[in-house]
Amino acid sequence: MSDTPYIVSARKYRPSTFKSVVGQDNLTKTLKNAIDTGRLAQAYLFCGSRGVGKTSCARIFAKTINCLSPTEDGEACGVCDSCRAIDEGNSFNLIELDAASNNSVDNMRNLTDQVNIPPAVGKYRVFIIDEVHMLSSAAFNAFLKTLEEPPKYVIFILATTEKHKVIPTILSRCQIYDFKRITIQDMVSHLQYVAESEGIEADTASLNVIARKADGAMRDALSIFDQVAASSMGHITYEKTLSSLNVLDYEYYFKLIDAFIEGNVPEALMLYKAIRDNGFDTLFFLNGLASHIRDLMVAYSPKTVSLLEVADDISRRYIEQARRLPVDWLYAALKILNDCDYKYRTASNKQILAELTLVRLSQLLNPPTPPFDRVDSDVIPLRGIATPPQQKKTAAQSVQHEHTVKPAVQPDMKPDDNRAEVSGSEENHNPDPTQVVDTEIQGVTRKRTSKLREGATTRSSVSSIRLSDIDNTDAEDSELTLKREPVTLDRFKEVWQQFIGQNPQQQILISAMRKSEPIPDGDENFKVIVDHPAERQAFENAMQQMLSFFRPLLNNDYITITAIVDTSKEVTKQLPPHELLQDMISKNEALAEFLSGADMEIV
């Protein structure tokens, strides 16, 4: 073990000149130009996320304006007394204050006292206040006057990660510099420089993973680099980086997209199981999958491929896989994953939600054959979904639907006889209405007991199968048409009272129902006049429950209920006690005479 004390990379490779600042070229150029021209402001505000160089740039700025022999390109020399004092942290010209722990009025008064002391060496005294948004309101106000009119030798540099918390009167007195997040490419380049300086072997793919994990913060990237270098004994590889940081490999996402393209649901579910077995959180996995599909979307067009923040070899894989998918699939997949993310936090079974999402993604390019497609399809009307009468299929239209009907195998029949086609003439000879129907859907044969709808024909080819073609033995269960019996007001009020009696726990709703009378509004709509918007909201929240209760009892699937707030009623104004008493006196002569005789007055 070496006797030299170890210094973490975030401190060892902290920039000491404007040139060494990573990823902030435009900002550092502006600061250098201001120094060269002598156009220095009295106060600066450096804003940006963590680890992007705000405090480092403030120190470099203070060192440069106090340097006794600056270089030709406007940088601090780093060797004069002023530069060395600042680098060593014992300069009287640089005062740093942490506003998180010094946020009181007294701290601001101490700062004001120090402002009055001129510099002994150099031209300026620089006060750096870090996390300035943590100052209290009183401290901000105590600081305002000093910030607005400081001595000519004083410069304030305020740094914050939350500019919106700084009061406007402070913002108006500062020049504001917004630091941007450091890009993946800039971080990878700097990490390569650090690795070469430290004699550490590291491939580009592993450094790219570290940069993505840092999320735009150079300080975080250097800290993660030290962690991975320690765990890999100075030989950083892609696999060791994934293992050390517990990062989900790109390969899982590329394999998942291949499974989606092939419509391979079992493969997608097994990949999800492998990811869970490796200890990854389901929401983390789903968000990573959404990010992967987003990268495929930007890789789809040459104009947006530059938005990919990955290594060149990974970028080529994104482009190749994106070419295998229609762009509409990418949009639909992102919509499905966004819906899953929205429902995830309230889902009682999160694993089922994730697996259902993977199934839907696998079926986007290979949708299932009806009637096993989505329940919200317009093609298949399901029980309980109100379908306008004009959209119901007639018997003549249902005759045209194609399906395969295979009669049950009889003992005296050969297997090949099952392929005999049932013709229209055979149907006229009153065949057995109960038959075994084999429906072949995507290579899967399913049997069900059913009877033919009267007038329906059968064919040997299976191009499509609709629910309206096949009836179960129970005629009532197979009926898909919605009920529409006439409803009288008296009968509706009877069901109204039944609902009140069975739902006493819904207090606001039941109270409104008891004091309101339903009024017919057309053949199948009833309206209710309520006194308050809260009562209308109670009706709207329970509407699905009410319709499920009313429709079966009334034998009408088109019943609707509308709640309307009565705006004609005057709202009684709540009067103060003395005004209320005056109002009572004006309306009650006996009370007025009593108070007059008692020689009393209202106060």
Residue 402's Cβ-count burial label (10 Å; 0-12, 13-18, 19+) is middle
**pLDDT of res. 457:** 41
Q: Residue 512 domain-assigned? A: yes
DSSP character at residue 293: H
Mean pLDDT check: name the lowest of 104-113, 137-146, 283-292, 399-408: 399-408
Together in a domain, 68 and 149: yes
What is the average pLDDT across 251-259? 91
Indicate the pLDDT class of residue 25, thresholds 50, 70 and 90. Answer: confident
Indicate the pLDDT class of residue 433, thresholds 50, 70 and 90. Answer: very low
Together in a domain, 308 and 445: no
Residue 327 CA to residue 519 CA, distance in Å, equals 52
| Cβ within 8 Å of residue 384, ≥6 positions away | 557
pLDDT tens digits, 350-364: 999 999 999 999 988
**pLDDT of res. 418:** 42
**pLDDT of res. 340:** 92
Q: Residue 590 domain-assigned? A: no
Looking at the 3D structure of the chain, how many domains does it have?
5
What are phi and psi for residue 317, nearest 5 degrees?
Answer: -65, -40
Together in a domain, 453 and 535: no
DSSP character at residue 556: B
Residue 266 CA to residue 359 CA, distance in Å, equals 9
Return the residue matching tokens 């209710």: 528
- Residue 130's domain is classified under what CATH number? 3.40.50.300
What is the average pLDDT across 463-468? 37
Residue 90 CA to residue 110 CA, distance in Å, equals 19
**3-class DSSP state of 72:** coil
**pLDDT of res. 78:** 83
Q: Do 174 and 150 meet the contact criterion of CB atoms below 8 Å apart?
A: no
Q: Which domain holds residue 403?
A: 399-407+431-481
**pLDDT of res. 87:** 85
| Cβ within 8 Å of residue 371, ≥6 positions away | 380, 465, 466, 467
Mean pLDDT check: name the lowest of 250-259, 272-281, 352-361, 455-464: 455-464
Q: Residue 393 domain-assigned? A: no
Q: Residue 372 domain-assigned? A: no
Indicate the pLDDT class of residue 336, thresholds 50, 70 and 90. Answer: very high
- Residue 290's domain is classified under what CATH number? 1.20.272.10
pTM, rounded to two decimals: 0.55
User: Would you say residue 296 has pLDDT above 60?
Assistant: yes
Together in a domain, 210 and 188: yes
Q: Which amino acid is at 167?
A: I
Residue 198: count of CB within 10 angstroms of its CB:
15
pLDDT tens digits, 490-528: 888 888 888 888 888 888 888 888 888 888 888 788 888
**pLDDT of res. 601:** 61
Residue 61 CA to residue 80 CA, distance in Å, equals 15
Whole-number percent of the chain with pLDDT over 90: 12
User: Would you say residue 487 has pLDDT above 60?
Assistant: yes
Residue 584 CA to residue 581 CA, distance in Å, equals 5
Higher pLDDT, 555 or 246: 555
Where are the alpha helices (H) located in 300-370, listed in sequence order? 312-322, 327-344, 350-362
**pLDDT of res. 103:** 82
Q: Residue 522 domain-assigned? A: yes
Mean pLDDT check: name the lowest of 115-124, 141-150, 306-315: 306-315
Together in a domain, 220 and 281: no
Residue 140: count of CB within 10 angstroms of its CB:
20
Q: Do 406 and 438 meet the contact criterion of CB atoms below 8 Å apart?
A: yes
Together in a domain, 16 and 138: yes
pLDDT tens digits, 324-335: 888 889 999 999
SS3 string, 375-431, reads CCCCCCCCCCCCCCHHHCCCHHHHHCCCCCCCCCCCCCCCHHHHHCCCCHHHHCCCC
Return the residue matching tokens 């973490």: 8
**3-class DSSP state of 561:** strand
Mean pLDDT check: name the lowest of 79-83, 115-119, 355-359, 404-408: 404-408
pLDDT tens digits, 29-58: 999 889 888 888 889 999 988 888 899 999
Residue 479 CA to residue 132 CA, distance in Å, equals 71
User: Would you say residue 374 has pLDDT above 60?
Assistant: no
Q: Do 324 and 261 meet the contact criterion of CB atoms below 8 Å apart?
A: yes
Together in a domain, 39 and 156: yes
How far are the Cα atoms of 62, 97, 224, 300 from residue 219, in angstroms, in the given order?
Answer: 21, 20, 9, 33
Question: What's the number of CA atoms in the CB half-sphere (13 Å) around residue 390?
Answer: 0
Together in a domain, 154 and 29: yes
What is the average pLDDT across 98-119? 86
What is the average pLDDT across 387-401? 42
Largest CA distance in the chain: 118
Residue 516: count of CB within 10 angstroms of its CB:
19
CA-nearest of 210, 362, 357 to 282 is 357
| Cβ within 8 Å of residue 44, ≥6 positions away | 58, 61, 155, 156, 157, 158, 174, 175, 176, 177
Q: Residue 258 domain-assigned? A: yes
Together in a domain, 163 and 58: yes
Q: Do 602 and 575 meet the contact criterion of CB atoms below 8 Å apart?
A: no
Q: Residue 415 domain-assigned? A: no
Q: Residue 223 domain-assigned? A: yes
**pLDDT of res. 377:** 41
What is the average pLDDT across 381-406? 41
Helix (H) or strand (E) holding 104: none
Q: What is the DSSP string of 449-495?
A: EEEEPTT----S--S---GGGEE-SSHHHH--SPPB----HHHHHHH
Which one of 226, 245, 264 terminates a domain? Answer: 245
Indicate the pLDDT class of residue 448, thresholds 50, 70 and 90. Answer: very low
Residue 83 CA to residue 65 CA, distance in Å, equals 10
**pLDDT of res. 128:** 92
Together in a domain, 20 and 51: yes
pLDDT tens digits, 186-217: 888 899 999 988 888 888 888 888 888 888 88
Together in a domain, 115 and 230: no
Torsion angle in degrees (nearest 10) through CA of 487, 488, 493, 498 = -40
Q: Do 574 and 502 meet the contact criterion of CB atoms below 8 Å apart?
A: no
What is the average pLDDT across 67-78? 84
User: Would you say residue 403 has pLDDT above 80?
Assistant: no
Classify strands 444-452 and 435-441 as parallel, antiparallel or unpaired. Answer: antiparallel
Residue 582: count of CB within 10 angstroms of its CB:
13
- Residue 202's domain is classified under what CATH number? 1.10.8.60
Q: Do 210 and 241 meet the contact criterion of CB atoms below 8 Å apart?
A: yes
| Cβ within 8 Å of residue 320, ≥6 positions away | none
Q: What is the mean pLDDT of the chain?
A: 77
What is the average pLDDT across 288-305? 89
Which one of 362, 388, 417 terminates a domain? Answer: 362
User: Would you say residue 400 has pLDDT above 50?
Assistant: no
Which one of 245, 260, 286 terminates a domain? Answer: 245
**3-class DSSP state of 96:** strand
**pLDDT of res. 384:** 38
Together in a domain, 151 and 92: yes
User: Would you say residue 237 has pLDDT above 90?
Assistant: no
Higher pLDDT, 550 or 402: 550
| Cβ within 8 Å of residue 421, ≥6 positions away | 458, 459, 460
| Cβ within 8 Å of residue 98, ≥6 positions away | 130, 131
What is the average pLDDT across 401-418? 43
Across 154-247, the runs of DSSP E, i.e. the strands, are: 154-160, 175-178, 201-202, 235-236
**pLDDT of res. 259:** 92
Angle between helix axes 250-262 and 282-299 (nearest 10 degrees) is: 70
